[in-house]
A = this chain, B = another copy of it.
Amino acid sequence: MPKVMVVGAGAVGAVTVCKLAQRPDLFPEIVVASRNVTKCQKLTEKHPQARIIPEALNADDVQATIALLQKHKPALLLNLALPYQDLPLMEACLQAGVDYLDTASYEPPDRPLYEYSYQWKYHESFEKAGIMAVLGIGFDPGITNAFVAYAAKHYFDEIHYLDIVDCNAGQHGRPFATNFNLEINLREITQPGRYYENGKLIEVPPLSVSQDVKFPEIGVRKAYLIFHEELESLVKHFPTLRRARFWMTFSDSYLMHLRAFMNVGLTRIDPIDYEGHPVVPIKFLQKLLPDPATLAPDYKGWVSIGVQLRGVYQGKPRTLFIYTNIRHEWAYADCGSQAIAYTAGVPPAVAAELMVTGVWKKPGVWNVEQLDPDPLLERLPAAGLPWKVVVDYPLDFIDVPE
């Protein structure tokens, strides 16, 4: 089997490497490249049974990435770096003729707007080059897209309503901590909520729309309507969708802390003078918060992510719920990770298997729902992410009876 190359060795990248390293039959050699080569070396030490080759790489530097691809000649580049780096890495893959996958859509550094348009533009050139790119194959986006494709393939003639529901009911034992970068957490709650209805993108004020949602094993939690990037590709690829929304739970305590910080300017990104030294409030705040990686050992409880669907099958209305529930403890036992990083980091490793073995082989740039969901979802439980389908599920979102 050929080499693969992972770019990025953060919390999610570490999970992907962990899962790749568990399958030496499929991935005998794994190059791990990061700006911080020490992080790559730590992964080498963590997985002594695997052959992991650490490399230093600035993923913004297209020529440096091409040189590394030419050196190692991997069959696939797995982009687990930052969303800002999707375009330089795709460009490098195109020029080096290497397949590509990532877990989050590109966003321009200067404006926080997820949008697939930048990456979709690469479709024809990837197609001509005979190489394949899979976009957004984490959990959400990623498995959520596959859930919709799976439902469309096996359970519906037409899907009309989609609600993606995401709940982290885990407890890390700290009064306040973020599961990943503070700025990205803040963006979720400060961005307007956006959803698609009748072909239009509708915007509502940040966290202004919420609803109680019942999550398996967890119970009822307050979920807020936020924008999430898979909505954009799903309404494009399932044009029968009349409405598509994304809901995420935030605890009152979590929101209370973030709001308090925002209210006094602790989330400002401009430096203020402190005894003659410029101090950027959000960076200072980040220093006070626990490193997200340190939360994993103590993290307990469930994470539940699923899609609630409403549509028709053989002329009759049908509702469906497909979801994954996993516990933080399971993620820690498997890869020393918390479940948020784990749910995002496992799917790219499974997708890598499908790509290097040719199960998914289709030149061009694709979102997950454009590929056959069956081989992906079949392999998911063994990789650590069980999932379940419930037909005629009593939906939480009953405001649009069919």
Q: Which residues of B contact A260 (CB under 8 A)?
A: 176, 256-257, 260-261
Q: Which residues of B contact A398 (CB under 8 A)?
A: none
Q: Which residues of B contact A266 (CB under 8 A)?
A: 266, 285, 288
Contact among B176, B264, B265 for A257, CB-based, below 8 A:
B264
* Interface residue ranges of A211-236 to B (CB < 8 Å): none
A287 and B274 contact, Cβ closer than 8 Å, known pairs A256-B256, A279-B279: yes
A257 nearest in chain B by CB position: B260
Q: Does A120 contact B (CB under 8 A)?
A: no
A256–B263 alpha-carbon span in the complex (Å) = 11
Q: Which residues of B contact A277 (CB under 8 A)?
A: 274-275, 277, 279
Q: Does A289 contact B (CB under 8 A)?
A: yes
Q: Which residues of B contact A274 (CB under 8 A)?
A: 274, 277, 279, 283-284, 287
Q: Does A175 contact B (CB under 8 A)?
A: yes
A175 and B264 contact, Cβ closer than 8 Å, known pairs A279-B284, A284-B274: yes
Jot down 29 A-B pairs with beta carbons below 8 A, ordered by A.
A175-B263, A175-B264, A176-B260, A256-B260, A257-B260, A257-B263, A260-B260, A260-B261, A264-B285, A264-B288, A264-B289, A266-B285, A266-B288, A272-B287, A272-B288, A274-B274, A274-B277, A274-B279, A274-B283, A274-B284, A274-B287, A275-B277, A277-B277, A277-B279, A279-B279, A279-B284, A281-B284, A281-B288, A284-B284
Chain A residues within CB distance 8 Å of chain B: 175-176, 256-257, 260-261, 263-266, 272, 274-275, 277, 279, 281, 283-285, 287-289
Q: Which 5 A-B pairs have the closest CB atoms?
A: A175-B263, A260-B260, A257-B260, A277-B277, A265-B288
